[in-house]
């Protein structure tokens, strides 16, 4: 009887020790999975600061969106992003003004396709959108970078993966070439859920041409970025993200003249709304 009592006592102590122990390090499968018919809501805030010669401009977009999986087949997912609430503003000097793009985007739904790695393609309005030609300059970069690149495989704590040569172009002819590296730093708790914390670093090169209210420019330069995100393996989702990338460029007027030293800093924060 004493032995049984000691055994029960030992088991109780062991159970308490296990309950109090930190989350054990384990391998995580980093891949996106979506169920058709399901949706989730996110809040995202983007802040772009531009210094171009003597001029400084700040653009802020604060939004809430609903992302829905419409269908899935052969590893591809048809998705829709609805902009439930959008506020866009621009600050130049001491003057801040609302950008009408916020009102134009609110209520609009944009369709796109993605996969287990988070590669995005086929971005287009799901219905009629008269302002799409101007809105796409804001919308396409948001959706293209919505899903941080995942390797679609199991990775241990401390493991790394890369995505090199990720090229993005614009209608004006400017091209950005980004090499990104990722590291699974740790497993921790976030709002009661086990999440994998992943560090991300980026190196970017910028070239080509761009159009501005002051004219057309040839662009050359590059920069670096860093950030981290929380991946919930039980949901196969990124539930929290923040990052920053700084670009330094020379912008030379096509009409001739001296190059303008330009610095662009992009901040982004995103969170899954419970």
Give residue 25's pLDDT. Answer: 54
Residue 131 phi/psi, 5-degree rounding, is -95, 15
Where residue 240 falls (left for φ over 0; alpha for ψ -120 to 50; beta otherwise) is beta
Find out whether 118 and 79 touch, Cβ atoms under 8 Å: no
**Whole-model pTM?**
0.84
Give residue 8's pLDDT. Answer: 41
Give me the tens of pLDDT residue by residue for the chain, a chain 274 residues long.
444 444 444 444 444 443 343 444 589 999 999 999 999 999 999 999 999 888 899 999 999 999 999 999 999 999 999 999 999 999 998 899 999 999 999 999 999 999 999 999 999 999 999 999 889 988 999 999 999 999 999 999 999 999 988 888 776 678 889 999 999 999 999 888 899 999 999 999 999 988 777 778 899 999 999 999 999 999 999 999 999 999 999 989 888 888 888 999 999 999 999 6
Find out whether 122 and 143 touch, Cβ atoms under 8 Å: no
Give residue 19's pLDDT. Answer: 39
Residues in the chain: 274
DSSP conformation class of 53: T
Residue carrying structure tokens 């057309």: 216
Domain boundary assignment for the chain: 27-273
Dig out the tokens for 67 from the structure.
Answer: 């992302």
Give residue 173's pLDDT. Answer: 75
Give residue 52's pLDDT. Answer: 84
What is the CATH code for 27-273? 2.30.230.10
Give residue 274's pLDDT. Answer: 66
DSSP-assigned beta bridge partners for residue 206: 176, 221
Find out whether 46 and 267 touch, Cβ atoms under 8 Å: yes
């Amino acid at each position: 009887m004493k032995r049984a009592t000691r055994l029960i006592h030992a088991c109780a102590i062991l159970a308490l020790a296990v309950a109090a122990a930190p989350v054990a390090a384990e391998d995580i499968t980093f891949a996106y999975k979506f169920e058709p018919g399901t949706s989730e809501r996110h809040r995202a805030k983007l802040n772009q600061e531009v210094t171009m010669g003597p001029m400084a401009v700040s653009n802020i977009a604060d939004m809430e969106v609903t992302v829905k999986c419409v269908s899935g087949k052969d590893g591809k997912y048809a998705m829709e992003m609805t902009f439930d609430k959008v506020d866009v503003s621009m600050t130049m000097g001491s003057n801040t003004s609302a950008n009408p793009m916020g009102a134009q985007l609110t209520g609009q739904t944009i369709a796109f396709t993605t996969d287990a790695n988070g590669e995005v393609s086929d971005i287009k309005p799901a219905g009629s959108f008269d302002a799409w030609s101007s809105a796409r300059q804001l919308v396409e970069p948001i959706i293209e970078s919505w899903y941080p690149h995942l390797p679609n495989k199991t990775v241990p704590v401390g493991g790394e993966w890369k995505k090199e040569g990720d090229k993005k172009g614009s209608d004006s002819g400017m091209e950005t070439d980004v090499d990104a590296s990722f590291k699974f730093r740790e497993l921790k708790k976030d709002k009661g859920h086990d999440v994998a914390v992943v560090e991300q670093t980026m190196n970017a090169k910028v070239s080509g041409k761009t159009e501005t209210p002051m004219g057309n420019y040839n662009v050359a330069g590059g920069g670096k970025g860093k950030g981290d995100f929380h991946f919930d393996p039980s949901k196969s989702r990124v539930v929290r993200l923040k990052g920053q990338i700084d670009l330094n460029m020379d912008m030379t007027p096509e009409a001739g003249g001296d190059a303008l030293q330009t610095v662009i800093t992009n901040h982004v924060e995103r969170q899954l709304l419970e």
